[in-house]
Amino acid sequence: MKELLFMPNVDMPLSQLRDYKPELTVESDFDTFWEEAKGRAKSVPLNAKATLVEDHPLKSIHIYDVIYDGADGTPVHGWYVVPAGEHKAGSLPVIVKYHGYNGNRGNPHELLHWASMGIAVLAINTRGQGGLTPVGASFPQGSISGWMTLGILDPNLYYYKQVYLDCIRAIDFVCSQQEVDASRIAVYGGSQGGGLALAAAGLDDRPKLAMPYYPFLCHFRRAVEQHNGGPYVEIKNWFRRFDPEHLQEEQVYRTLSYFDGMNMASRVKAKTLMAITLQDVVCPPSTCFAAYNHLAGEKELKLYPDYGHEALPFHEEAMMRFVASNL
């Protein structure tokens, strides 16, 4: 079957998706907003602590239980895994992993494949979700259960502002490690983790590679209209509960524009490998293509027509090959 005749079950025909590049929603003060936020964050000490896990059965890696302070002082938890042995200063490339919605840093053995490639890796918890990192803030308006609508009427107070800064400070942490080569940094993750990888690479020039797969937090207005499952429904439910006539709709989407992976992608300089699945009803393909088509730097796409929002073990190997060739 010719590509032009292929139509995904959940979104636009593939021929349209490949060219789908909606107008960015960047506000005039977008860059100023983030430069000021990052500037304030830099004045906050990282206060990082890494404790060696001595009783783990894996002996081919060194595992550290990490805590560092977010920009608002919230303790952020993570795993830092390094190949066993002595390492010269600046000798190891490093990868930072961000997890999916309501997930956590996972288990150290899930990072073993990177360490076996001679790469250090940090996996952090997203605040308030399924790990040890607390949410660390209060919010002025009512919200829907979940994280998507906390502070949604003000970009300065929106939940994901501190989350994105946590992701940048994860890069600060790995750069502070003696064995890390700060010129060889990659960021990656799936779903929410993919959106966070885009944010980290869009807001910080240090990552050389970015590897988001079916990224969440992209092209919010389209996502809320098109999704058929997952966290975007929280935004719909916020309107149902607090604003049934959508009188505050423009303010809501103005706030979200500062956190939109489509806008972040336009500022990414890292070489990027993105995976998109065409049967994804949680992060609709058009929202992912919106981000991919706005990527500013060198990029490569892996397309999986018959997969949805699910595990992609074969793509893990694709990312390993991408890292081996480029990091």
Task: Enumerate the known binding-site residues for substrate.
Answer: 101
Beta bridge partners of 211: 188
> What angle (nearest 5°) sits at the alpha carbon of residue 45, between those of residues 39 and 51?
135
Q: Which residues are annotated as a binding site?
A: 101
205 is catalytic: no
Catalytic residue among 11, 181, 204, 280: 280
The answer to whether 181 and 217 have CB atoms below 8 angstroms apart is: no
Catalytic residue among 99, 219, 309, 315: 309
Catalytic residue among 191, 286, 294, 315: 191
CA gyration radius for the chain? 19
280 is catalytic: yes
Residue positions annotated with a catalytic role: 191, 280, 309
